[in-house]
């Protein structure tokens, strides 16, 4: 039997509640399948660690993480005690960048039993592939002068290597799904980076003639995702555009508490990191009412990445059946606790 060694960073707030719930589901799924098992190692890093030590993770944290197959993260953030830029850059961004997790993947799907805020949604199921390391979020620029003379410059950096990598991943993913890639562009307004983005999309697209291809300006694309989300399969986007589109995807699914995400090192050189889209939700932390579905679905993405798509599909079915039976946490208008939702998903799996 194959054993996967997983580094677990529950983090702060509801991260400490939803991660153990998802681990229970994943362990049960592994037990039922019989081909593999997980060995979980918990790292107590995050804002409490920062308040004790002045660091979000130890200096050798990245080296420690490299020894594991994958990373399973909850959420970090205690905004009342630690500034968000400290918690974000000291842990999440550091891991994503130093472990070369260049691709961020976030699915959006109309789930059975979960009303979308869209009035009459058709059955949508799309995935946004976001370039995760450069683009508009590159650390390039500066500020000079002060007062009325102050100038801020932020450079967007698009490398051929990074852009091609994101596009190739999107095309490969589309081949395993409905065979269509849409590129999010803005070459009618952004004069250098986006025409370059379009050129690379066309060039890489020539290697994938069997895959349908389209290019939409980001503003039109955002509108289409509200009006006709069922028309999309895989969307490839720059760091900023992908960031915005994935929140839109989470919103039309029904709640931020269910949206999953993966930061992938597609070469397999270092571990990838699987984390839900939501944050540490300090407003509901410790009450036992956090929605565990985002974290559990994130676990399904980890199974998919490890090659157990069949097991992942079983977990997603169990989530949908649980929602369809009306077992929902308060963020989805239900009255169930985190424990009750987790137990129902495990029951259905079993």
Ligand X SMILES: NC(=O)c1ccc[n+]([C@@H]2O[C@H](COP(=O)([O-])OP(=O)(O)OC[C@H]3O[C@@H](n4cnc5c(N)ncnc54)[C@H](O)[C@@H]3O)[C@@H](O)[C@H]2O)c1
User: What's the token pair of residue 301?
Assistant: 């993405």
For residues 89 and 224, which CB has a smaller minimum distance to ligand X in the complex? 89
Cβ count near 300 (within 10 Å): 26
Q: Looking at 34-42, 131-139, 204-212, 271-279, which segment touches ligand X (CB under 6 A)?
A: 271-279
Q: In the range 6-25, which residues lie near ligand X by CB under 6 A?
A: 14, 18
Q: Does 42 bind ligand X (CB under 6 A)?
A: no
Rg (CA), the chain: 20
Burial-class residue 143 by CB neighbours within 10 Å (0-12, 13-18, 19+).
Answer: exposed
Write out the E strands in the chain.
2-11, 36-42, 70-75, 103-109, 125-131, 141-144, 151-154, 180-185, 212-217, 234-237, 262-264, 272-274
Residues 87-116 touching ligand X, rule: CB under 6 A, are 92
Rounded Cα gap, residues 300 and 261, in angstroms:
10
Q: In the complex, what is the shortest distance from the CB of residue 234 to ligand X, in angstroms, rounded to a whole number?
A: 23
Residues 132, 239, 291, 342: which binds ligand X (CB under 6 A)?
291
Residues in 127-166 that interact with ligand X by CB under 6 A: none
Q: Per rule CB under 6 A, is residue 77 in the interface with ligand X? A: yes
DSSP annotation of 191: S
Single out the segment in contact with ligand X by CB under 6 A; choices: 77-85, 188-196, 312-320, 342-350: 77-85
In sequence order, what DSSP letters do the residues of 286-333 get, joined into one string? TSS----HHHHHHHHHHHHHHT-HHHHHHHHHHHHHHHHTT---GGGT
3-class state of residue 225 by DSSP = helix
Euclidean distance between CA atoms 134 and 305, whole angstroms:
23
* Sole binder of ligand X in the list 21, 181, 262, 290 (CB under 6 A): 290
Q: How far is the CB of 14 from ligand X (least distance, A)?
A: 6
Shortest reach from residue 296's CB to ligand X, in Å = 10
Is residue 84 involved in binding ligand X (CB under 6 A)? yes
> Residue 334 interacts with ligand X (CB under 6 A)?
no
Please give the C-alpha separations between residue 222 and each of 198, 226, 242, 245, 260, in angstroms, as whole numbers.
18, 7, 11, 7, 20
Nearer to ligand X (CB atom), residue 135 or residue 276: 276
Q: How far is the CB of 150 from ligand X (least distance, A)?
A: 27
Decide if residue 243 touches ligand X (CB under 6 A): no
Specify the stretch interacting with ligand X by CB under 6 A; choose among 121-129, 188-196, 233-241, 275-283.
Answer: 275-283
For ligand X, which is the closer residue by CB, 77 or 205?
77
Show Cβ contacts of residue 101 under 8 Å, excluding neighbours closer than 6 positions. 95, 132, 133, 263, 264, 265, 270, 272, 273
Number of residues that bind ligand X (CB under 6 A): 23
Residue 260 interacts with ligand X (CB under 6 A): yes or no: no
Residue 72 exposure: Cα atoms within 13 Å on the Cβ side: 31
Q: Which of 136-144, 164-172, 194-202, 280-288 is the region at the interface with ligand X (rule: CB under 6 A)? A: 280-288
Asked if 331 is part of the footprint of ligand X (rule: CB under 6 A), the reply reads yes
Q: Does the footprint of ligand X cover residue 283 (CB under 6 A)?
A: yes
- Contacts with ligand X by CB under 6 A lie at 14, 18, 75-77, 79, 84, 92, 256-257, 275, 278-284, 290-291, 294, 329, 331
């Amino acid at each position: 039997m194959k054993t996967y060694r997983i580094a677990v960073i529950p983090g702060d707030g509801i991260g400490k509640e939803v991660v153990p719930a998802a681990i229970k589901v994943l362990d049960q799924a592994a037990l039922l399948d019989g081909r593999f098992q997980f060995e979980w190692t918990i790292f107590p890093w995050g804002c409490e660690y920062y308040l004790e030590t002045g660091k979000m993770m130890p200096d050798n944290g990245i080296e420690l993480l490299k020894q594991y197959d994958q990373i399973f993260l909850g959420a970090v953030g205690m905004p009342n005690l630690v500034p968000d830029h400290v918690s974000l850059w000291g842990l999440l961004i550091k891991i994503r960048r130093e472990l070369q997790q260049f691709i961020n993947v976030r699915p959006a799907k109309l789930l059975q039993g979960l009303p979308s805020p869209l009035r009459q949604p058709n059955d949508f199921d799309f995935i946004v592939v976001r370039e995760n390391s450069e683009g508009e979020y590159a650390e390039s620029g500066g500020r000079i002068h002060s007062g009325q003379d102050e100038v801020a410059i932020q450079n967007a950096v698009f490398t051929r290597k990074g852009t091609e990598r994101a596009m190739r991943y999107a095309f490969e993913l589309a081949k395993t799904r409905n065979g269509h890639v849409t590129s999010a562009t803005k070459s009618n307004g952004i004069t250098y980076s986006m025409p370059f983005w379009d050129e690379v999309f066309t060039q890489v697209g020539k290697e994938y003639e069997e895959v349908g291809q389209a290019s939409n300006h980001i503003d039109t694309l955002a509108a289409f995702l509200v009006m006709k989300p069922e028309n999309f399969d895989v969307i490839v986007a720059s760091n900023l555009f992908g960031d915005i589109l994935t929140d839109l995807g989470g919103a039309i699914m029904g709640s931020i508490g269910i949206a999953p995400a993966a930061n992938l090192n597609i070469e397999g050189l270092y571990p990838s990191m699987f984390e839900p889209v939501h944050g540490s939700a300090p407003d509901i932390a410790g009450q036992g009412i956090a929605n565990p579905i985002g974290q559990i679905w994130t676990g399904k993405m980890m199974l998919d990445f490890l090659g157990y798509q069949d097991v992942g599909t079983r977990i997603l079915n169990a989530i949908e059946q649980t929602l369809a039976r009306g077992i929902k946490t308060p963020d989805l208008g239900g009255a169930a606790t985190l424990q009750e939702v987790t137990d129902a998903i495990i029951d259905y799996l079993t």
